[in-house]
């Protein structure tokens, strides 16, 4: 569930308690009270998992306390320690996450759901540590020509280090296997809509299904995009596709994964030979896979290959938003729904690679924060989206798509991709335009307060601080925002 942005419309420094303190917290798991140093904390998590002192009987309270601890850690992080010991902290934190993940097969459902939120909180702290340690200039993703960039993973030395799963040699070129699943995070407002809409929130927005030809060894991806449908892409192109994160998951049943990938690859190729397109599923109806969203590509493949016995994910996320009009706009229904991040906590898959583009971490955080606040305002302040000139014009121009000459001219003016399939609902077109207008206005404010904080204190804002700043901006009743997004 991700849009390629090139195909879119317009589309206080914290007190340091001691020289070894990483953050301070009033609540930590009982077994973890012995340290506030993140290196020690991560090692202790590893040890407690190994000795089963975190287990199915106490996991609910232990994970809950860890969630709060890491949440508080965003705003009380020891920046100087992060700058000095950043790589060790990142390595040990990844090890701790993988240790916790090894428990997924035995944990009760409630604890598995909690683990999604814990991984999110741990990653956000890691994001801050990496941003300070690597001291990478923070830039807007809109300034990057992604298809002209070095290829992530394949040209690893041109990016910051990434982490590999157990048993993989970092000195060798990473090799994908048939049936691997990549979950990625895009850089658009639509991507942030996906990562922020469901509960728990996440840092992923798209699923990529990997195919490796058994004879030629050619690696490609099978993906579905709004406006385009299901297609096959070269892996090099997919890896350069405007991603801020890439997580590669590998099924523990390699034979089934390979069968699933071959089935879906053959299905897409048959349609292509018949000059047909498997359209994007704007209803997100998993019971009917004649059309498919990005999640449905992998879902249908594993379901078909296993004769309905292997259904992904193990546990779906939940959409809790009450505004049915907005949910209709984005093609989502209230209740359980598969989203990309659900695969990270599926115990039947191993994490084999975890990559982050630290250049755009602040850009990604700001977009996620503003979309999260948008949903908060819709839910708790009765905010609604109102059409503006841009969205109305987009809808009008989209209505000419069946008139070749007129469409060819007007689509260029409105920047609507000419390769969009004609089945795209008009509501999707206007929603993309509206989100762009609202997001751009809120992003300006998020950029301002975040950069101002860093300039004055040397600290980037936490997610909670960004949310607070955006809500304070809302309360000023800004004219530009009210034109497109205000109380009902």
Structure tokens at 221: 């991806």
Quick check: is 409 in a domain? Answer: no
pLDDT digits (tens, 9 = 90+) for 203-219: 999 999 999 999 999 99
List pLDDT tens digits, range 157-213.
Answer: 999 999 999 989 888 889 999 999 999 999 999 999 999 999 999 999 999 999 999
Torsion over CA of 279, 285, 287 and 288, rounded to 10 degrees?
Answer: -20
Dihedral over alpha carbons 228, 229, 231, 236 (to 10 degrees): 60
Tokens representing residue 372 in the block: 């999260």
Number of domains making up the chain: 1
Query: Does the N-terminal peptide bond of residue 484 adopt cis geometry, omega within 30 degrees of 0?
Result: no
Do residues 439 and 363 lie in contact, with contact meaning Cβ atoms separated by under 8 Å? no
Is residue 373 in some structural domain? no
Question: Residue 437's Cα: distance from chain center in Å?
Answer: 21
Give the N- to C-terminal CA distance of the chain in Å, as an integer. Answer: 28
Q: Please, how many CA atoms are within 13 Å of residue 312, restricted to the half-sphere of its CB?
A: 32
233 found inside a domain: yes
Q: Residue 239: give its domain's CATH number.
A: 3.90.1720.10
In a domain, 265, yes or no: yes
| Separation of CA 170 from chain center | 25
Choose among 370, 212, 230: nearest CA to 298. 230
pLDDT-derived band of residue 328, with 50, 70 and 90 as boundaries?
confident
Distance CA 414, CA 449 (A): 31
Q: How far is CA 81 from CA 76, 85, 354, in A?
A: 12, 6, 23
Question: What ranges in 102-170 are assigned the alpha helix state H?
Answer: 109-134
Domain limits at 201? 5-9+144-357
Residue 305 has pLDDT above 90, yes or no: yes
Q: Is residue 241 part of a domain?
A: yes
Asked whether residue 486 is domain-assigned, the answer is: no
At residue 337, what are phi and psi to the nearest 5 degrees? Answer: -160, 135
31 within some domain:
no
What integer best gives the mean pLDDT of the chain? 89
Greatest Cα pair distance, the chain, in angstroms, is 71
Q: Is the pLDDT of residue 237 over 50?
A: yes
Q: What's residue 424's pLDDT?
A: 78
Query: What is the spatial distance between Cα 460 and Cα 469, in angstroms, rounded to a whole number?
Result: 13
Residue range 269-284: mean pLDDT, rounded: 94
């Amino acid at each position: 569930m991700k849009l390629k942005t090139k195909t879119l419309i317009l589309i206080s420094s914290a007190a340091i308690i001691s020289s070894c303190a990483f953050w301070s917290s009033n609540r930590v798991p009982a077994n973890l009270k012995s340290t506030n140093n993140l290196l020690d904390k991560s090692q202790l998590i590893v040890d407690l998992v190994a000795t089963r002192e975190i287990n199915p009987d106490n996991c609910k309270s232990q994970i809950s306390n860890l969630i709060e601890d890491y949440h508080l850690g965003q705003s009380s992080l020891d920046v100087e320690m992060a700058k000095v010991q950043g790589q060790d902290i990142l390595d040990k934190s990844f090890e701790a996450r993988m240790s916790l993940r090894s428990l997924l097969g035995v944990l009760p459902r409630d604890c598995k759901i909690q683990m999604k939120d814990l991984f999110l909180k741990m990653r956000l702290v890691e994001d801050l540590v990496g941003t300070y340690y690597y001291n990478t200039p923070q830039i807007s993703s809109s300034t990057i020509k992604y298809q002209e960039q070095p290829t992530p993973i394949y040209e690893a030395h041109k990016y910051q280090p990434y982490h590999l799963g157990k048993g993989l040699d970092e000195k060798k070129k990473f090799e994908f296997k048939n049936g691997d699943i990549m979950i990625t995070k895009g850089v658009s407002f639509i991507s942030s809509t996906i990562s922020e809409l469901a509960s728990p929130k996440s840092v992923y927005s798209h699923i990529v299904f990997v195919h490796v030809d058994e004879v030629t060894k050619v690696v490609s991806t099978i993906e579905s995009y709004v406006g385009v449908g299901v297609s096959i892409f070269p892996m090099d192109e997919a890896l350069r596709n405007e991603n801020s994160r890439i997580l590669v998951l590998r099924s523990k049943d390699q034979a089934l994964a390979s069968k699933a990938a071959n089935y879906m690859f053959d299905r897409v190729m048959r349609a292509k030979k018949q000059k047909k397109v498997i359209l994007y599923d704007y209803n997100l109806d998993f019971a009917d896979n004649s059309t498919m969203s990005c999640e449905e590509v992998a879902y249908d493949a594993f379901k078909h290959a296993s004769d309905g016995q292997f259904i992904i994910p193990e546990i779906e996320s939940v959409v809790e938003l009450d505004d049915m009009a907005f949910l209709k706009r984005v093609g989502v229904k209230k209740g359980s729904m598969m989203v990309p991040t659900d695969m990270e906590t599926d115990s039947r898959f191993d994490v084999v690679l975890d990559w982050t583009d630290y250049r755009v971490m602040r850009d990604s955080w700001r977009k996620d924060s503003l979309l999260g606040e948008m949903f908060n305002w819709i839910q708790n302040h009765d905010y609604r989206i109102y059409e503006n000139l841009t969205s109305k014009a987009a809808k009008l121009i989209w209505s000419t798509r069946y008139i070749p000459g007129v469409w060819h001219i007007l689509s260029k003016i409105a920047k609507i991709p000419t390769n969009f399939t004609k089945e795209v609902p008009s509501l999707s077109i206007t929603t993309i335009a509206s989100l762009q207008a609202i997001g751009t206005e809120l992003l300006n404010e998020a950029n301002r307060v975040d950069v101002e904080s860093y300039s004055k204190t040397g600290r980037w804002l936490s997610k909670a601080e960004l949310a607070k700043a955006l809500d304070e901006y809302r309360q000023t009743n800004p004219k530009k925002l009210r034109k497109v997004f205000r109380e009902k």
